[in-house]
Amino acid sequence: MQQSTNRPQGRPTHAAMVSIDRQVATLEKRRDEIRAEMARLEAETRQVELDLRHLRDAKRSLSLLGANPGEGPNHLDELPDVPEEFAKRRIQRPDAQAWQVRQQAYRILKDQGHPLSRIEIYDRLKALGVEIDHPTPAKRLGRILTDAKGEFVYRDNGYWISGEPITVAVERPKRYRTRRKRKEI
């Protein structure tokens, strides 16, 4: 039976060692170049993501301000999704105006991260192309949100989602009513 020999075959030559050292140096240099390129690309990716975020925010702000009234902007795809268990009713009426308003109000509030007044919510709904068929749409919106007691609460001078923490701290001024003038006798 033959035995395999795994013994080194002698001392490596100086030329072989120099060749290996040269290859190691070349590969280490290439590795450093690749790492530098990766760092540059990561920094560029962060900058592009930041620019994209700013552009999306600007686009959303312009649409909410009504910069394109004839175009009828619709950015529903950029808003957060409504959870399946939100605003459950015994009878679901997805075609009903109140149901649609509740769904979109949830998405708007979740996107903003803080309570909004009925006028602010109405302006954003209008910018998204959601129309409220009523002589006073802001009052109707307030009634819809007030009647949805399990889904929305009124706090900090605005409507917010029940049971959700406020993610963005906003200082809202308190509105005071003026005193009535006394009737003269």
C-alpha 116, offset from chain centre? 17
Three-class secondary structure assignment of 89-119? CCCCCCCCHHHHHHHHHHHHHHHHCCCECHH
Euclidean distance between CA atoms 71 and 55, whole angstroms: 18
pLDDT of residue 67: 44
pLDDT in tens, 16-42: 888 899 999 999 999 999 999 999 999
> What string of DSSP letters covers 50-97?
HHHHHHHHHHHHHHHHTS-TTT----GGGSPPPPTTTT--SS--TTSH
- The pLDDT score that the predictor gives to residue 7 is 56
Rounded to whole angstroms, how far apart are CA atoms 99 and 94?
6
User: pLDDT digits over 43-93, tens only?
Assistant: 999 888 888 877 777 776 666 555 444 443 455 556 666 655 665 665 666
Q: Provide the pLDDT for residue 34.
A: 95
Q: Which CATH class is domain 80-161?
A: mainly alpha
Asked whether 99 and 87 are in contact (CB, 8 A), the reply is: yes
| Amino acid 61: pLDDT | 64
Minimal CA–CA distance to 144: which of 85, 111, 170, 154? Answer: 154
pLDDT given for residue 176 in this prediction: 65
Q: Which residues pair with 159 in a beta bridge?
A: 116, 154
Using alpha carbons, select from 134, 135, 138, 136 the residue that is nearest to residue 124.
Answer: 138
pLDDT tens digits along 126-157: 888 888 888 998 899 989 888 887 888 888 77
For residue 40, the model assigns a pLDDT of: 94
CA atoms of 29 and 176, how far apart (whole Å): 70
Tens-place pLDDT, residues 86-129: 656 656 666 678 888 888 888 888 888 888 888 889 988 888 88
In degrees and rounded to multiples of 5, residue 82 shows phi and psi of -90, 130
Q: Examine the pLDDT at 3 and tell me if it is beyond 60.
A: no
Using a cut of 0.95, tell me whether the model's pTM lies above it.
no
